[in-house]
Amino acid sequence: ETGVTQTPRHLVMGMTNKKSLKCEQHLGHNAMYWYKQSAKKPLELMFVYSLEERVENNSVPSRFSPECPNSSHLFLHLHTLQPEDSALYLCASSQDPSGVYEQYFGPGTRLTVT
C-alpha cells in the first residue's frame, strides 16, 4: 500500500465512548500531522510530530490525545467528545516539519458524535 492511509473511514460514537483513529504513512516521511476540518471552516492543525516527538500542540482540548509510536504510525485517541467535535479528521505527512515540503493527506475519518 502506498501513500497515507487512515482507519476507520467513518465513525459514529456517543459522548461517553472511547475510540481511536489510526494513520499510517508509507512514504518514509519524518513528520506527521493531525488536522480537523469542520464545515465552512479552514483546516485546523491539531498536532505535529517529528520523528515520534510532538513538536506542536495547537491548543487542543485534552479529550483528544495523540500517540506516535514510530515515524510511520500516528493515533488520535478520543474520549468524552462533544457533538461539536463532529468533523473530518485528516492525517498528513511530510518529509520534515519545517514547512518547506508539501504535505500528503490521508482520506480522513468522518466522525459523528451523538
Partner 1 sequence: RKEVEQDPGPFNVPEGATVAFNCTYSNSASQSFFWYRQDCRKEPKLLMSVYSSGNEDGRFTAQLNRASQYISLLIRDSKLSDSATYLCVVNGGSYIPTFGRGTSLIVHP
Q: Which residues of the chain form contacts with partner 1 (CB under 8 A)?
A: 40-43, 45, 48, 50, 55-56, 58, 88, 90, 97-100, 102-108, 110
Whole-number Å distance between alpha carbons of 14 and 70? 29
Comparing CB distances to partner 1, the nearer of 36 and 78 is 36
DSSP string, 25-54: E-S--SEEEEEEE-TTS--EEEEEEETTEE
Grid coordinates of 34: 493531525
Q: Taking the complex as a whole, how short is the minimal distance between the CB of residue 31 and partner 1, in angstroms?
A: 8
Cβ atoms of 35 and 44 within 8 Å: the answer is yes
Comparing CB distances to partner 1, the nearer of 66 and 108 is 108
Q: Taking the complex as a whole, how short is the minimal distance between the CB of residue 95 and partner 1, in angstroms?
A: 12
| Residue type at position 17 | N
Q: Taking the complex as a whole, how short is the minimal distance between the CB of residue 30 and partner 1, in angstroms?
A: 12
